[in-house]
């Protein structure tokens, strides 16, 4: 192989590495406590639906406002506000993955992914309006 080919391959590999590092989303799942440390920053928080807490959704009043409570992997229960319609069968989900940020004492999420228990159903994703 010629030296020019080797240099070209190294430059291409470096360019691909830079592009992946700039645009790749390699985030890990966080807790509500770690998301509260930087309120404006977007985080992925994973947890389970807090069954004992009341969900608030009135499609007649505002079809794009859904409030519910999630217990994260650290055991902290937090209020979650989703600017979108209530996802179908959220009560049946095993886990809820939310992408959003802390705003005061509530977690405002723009995207919800539900991990459903059935092996025959794919994960369901709900996307809300950006606020």
- What's the pLDDT tens digit per position in 67-110? 999 999 999 999 999 999 998 888 888 899 999 999 999 999 99
Residue (of 98, 91, 80, 99) closest to 117 by Cα position? 91
pLDDT for the residue numbered 40: 82
**Residue 129 scores a pLDDT above 80:** no
Q: How far apart (Å, rounded) are the C-alpha atoms in residues 1 and 39?
A: 53
pLDDT at 68: 95
R_g over Cα of the chain: 20
> How do the domains of the chain map onto residue ranges?
27-127
**Domain 27-127 of CATH type 2.40.50.140:** yes
Residues 21-53 pLDDT 10s: 766 555 578 899 988 998 888 999 999 999 888
């Amino acid at each position: 192989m010629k030296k020019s080919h080797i240099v070209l391959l190294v430059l291409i590999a470096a360019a691909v590495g830079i592009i992946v590092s700039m645009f790749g989303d390699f985030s890990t799942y966080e807790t509500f406590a770690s998301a509260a440390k930087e309120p404006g920053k977007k985080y992925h928080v994973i947890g389970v639906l807090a069954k004992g807490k009341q969900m608030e959704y009135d499609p007649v009043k505002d079809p794009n406002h859904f409030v519910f409570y999630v217990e994260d992997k650290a055991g902290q229960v937090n209020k979650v506000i989703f600017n979108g319609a209530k996802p179908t069968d959220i009560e049946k989900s095993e886990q809820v993955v939310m992408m959003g940020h802390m705003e005061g004492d509530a977690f405002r999420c723009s995207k919800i992914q539900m991990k459903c228990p059935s092996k025959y159903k794919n994960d369901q994703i709900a996307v809300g309006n950006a606020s």
